[in-house]
Chains A and B, each alone.
Chain A
Amino acid sequence: MTSELSRRLLQGDKRALTRVLSLVENGYPEGRQALRELFSHSGRAHIIGVTGSTGSGKSTLVGALARHFRQRDRSIGIVVTDPTSPFSHGALLGDRIRMQDLTSDPGVFIRSMATRGALGGLAPATNDVVTVLEAAGKEVVLVETVGAGQDEVEIADTAHTTIVMSIPGAGDEIQTIKAGILEIADILVVNKADQMGADLIARQLHMFLTLSKDRGWEVPIIKTTAHQGKGVSELADAIDRHRVYLEESGRLEEIRRHRARRQLLSLAQSQFLAYVLATAEADGHIETLVEAVARREMDPHTAAERLIEAVAGGRFSLWGSQG
């Protein structure tokens, strides 16, 4: 039976939507129940990821893209991410500043999330929040990562189409060659294209692409000046072309299966970890092992194995599970 809250959400009640998002983001059982009820209503939206370094113009581009897709009459969900302070555990969420004009558009719903200790460039509950926005009928969901460096590639597992942004004047071509984040791009954007060096970076990216493997999709390089809206229409066209490619090539089905596996395993992993830690913490086992490692009486690998043995009763072997 569907709960009152989920029912209201499916009928388009924004207040219900925003509350479900909070319940989900904060891990309440009611949020889990809502997800169960809403999951079958999700899966139809085009999820577009936008990533790039700090200051590359992600929020500005996301705002510009949203405005453009509104002209194509699509309803939009936007999830923006900013980092949680490792010290205070607070966060300053400032991505909305670049898109506040969109709040007066009833076809757009923007939600800010803090990373809360997650390292992949997104928040722990981003995938669930996207699911809820899809169930609420959003046709396009734009997901913006934190300012990403070389390793925050989780967005590629969340989005159908991943846009990686570069800007002129941010490192030489070695940075381009080694940066793992470029490899997840379905579309490369050179933003701030009105600045000097934009053509150079575009050429470097082109070189990089000729080195990378063919995935059946030719990654376009698109120059934008997001705050003026320049290049945004070309980018939106490329996004739509990529969607068509995903559907016609059967890649979309592959992505769905891949994502299902990833989500299942990562949830099982975090729940198992939480169980191990809660159990071991309760019986004081962790402190004993910490002490032993600190005194160098036991190496950390053995200690970890002991910890899991103590909780799982020897049914799991740490080395076995890795092999």
Chain B
Amino acid sequence: MTQERKLKIIIAKPGLDGHDRGAKVVARALRDAGFEVVYTGIRQTPEMIAETALQEDADMVGLSILSGAHLELFPRVVQELKKRGMEDVVLFGGGIIPREDVPHLQEIGFKALFGPGSSTHDIVEWARKNAPARGAASLS
């Protein structure tokens, strides 16, 4: 068998807004860039997202939110991931996130936040650059 670590990204929509066009476009773009992308669908609780990351052993988790509840929900996803020992997952986000909220979200662990107008090309390039170099050793 050949050794090949495919990178796995979870794209999830926390909270109650049902607008997932953006999440789907990003998921598709990452698939077309060679990632294995798990799309969870809409209306996910932070627990569901973290548990999905655990069961799928995700390398990265991307959250899409348009409801304005990011300051509430993003930190809870971080907490739930920690609870499950998944703090090494690389986090990013997108959607309607006011500029003044970005520093705080970066502080709690979101490495990048893609607002309206971001190109899928930029997101894919960012994901490639920031994918964790997880070898077998760090898998244990």
Cβ-based interface call for B21 (8 A):
no
Residues on the B chain within 8 Å of A103, using CB: 47-48, 51-52, 55
A323 to chain B, nearest CB (A): 29
Residues A93 and B39 in contact in the complex (CB < 8 Å), given A27-B4, A114-B6? yes
Choose the segment among B24-32, B92-100, B106-114 that binds chain A (4+ C-beta atoms closer than 8 Å). B24-32
User: In the complex, which of the residues A5, A27, A110 contacts B1, with contact meaning CB atoms closer than 8 Å?
Assistant: A27
Cβ-based interface call for B73 (8 A):
no
In the assembled complex, the Cα of A100 lies from the Cα of B47 at a distance in Å of 11
Residues A5 and B31 in contact, CB atoms below 8 Å apart? no
Cβ-based interface call for A30 (8 A):
yes
User: In the complex, which of the residues A5, A21, A90, A270 contacts B36, with contact meaning CB atoms closer than 8 Å?
Assistant: A90
Chain B interface: which size bin? 35 or more
In the assembled complex, the Cα of A104 lies from the Cα of B38 at a distance in Å of 17
B8 to chain A, nearest CB (A): 8
Residues B57 and A91 in contact, CB atoms below 8 Å apart? no
A23 to B, closest residue via Cβ: B139
Cβ-based interface call for B119 (8 A):
no
In the assembled complex, the Cα of A283 lies from the Cα of B23 at a distance in Å of 47
How many chain-A residues does the 8 Å CB contact rule pick out?
38
Nearest 10 pairs between A and B by C-beta?
A27-B1, A97-B41, A90-B31, A18-B57, A28-B136, A90-B34, A103-B51, A92-B31, A22-B57, A93-B38
B137 to chain A, nearest CB (A): 8
Residues A111 and B55 in contact in the complex (CB < 8 Å), given A26-B5, A27-B3, A274-B2? yes
In the assembled complex, the Cα of A94 lies from the Cα of B28 at a distance in Å of 11
A260 to chain B, nearest CB (A): 19
Cβ-based interface call for A321 (8 A):
no
Residues on the B chain within 8 Å of A96, using CB: 38-41, 52
Residues B55 and A109 in contact, CB atoms below 8 Å apart? yes
Residues A91 and B36 in contact in the complex (CB < 8 Å), given A30-B139, A97-B41, A104-B48? yes
A97 to chain B, nearest CB (A): 4
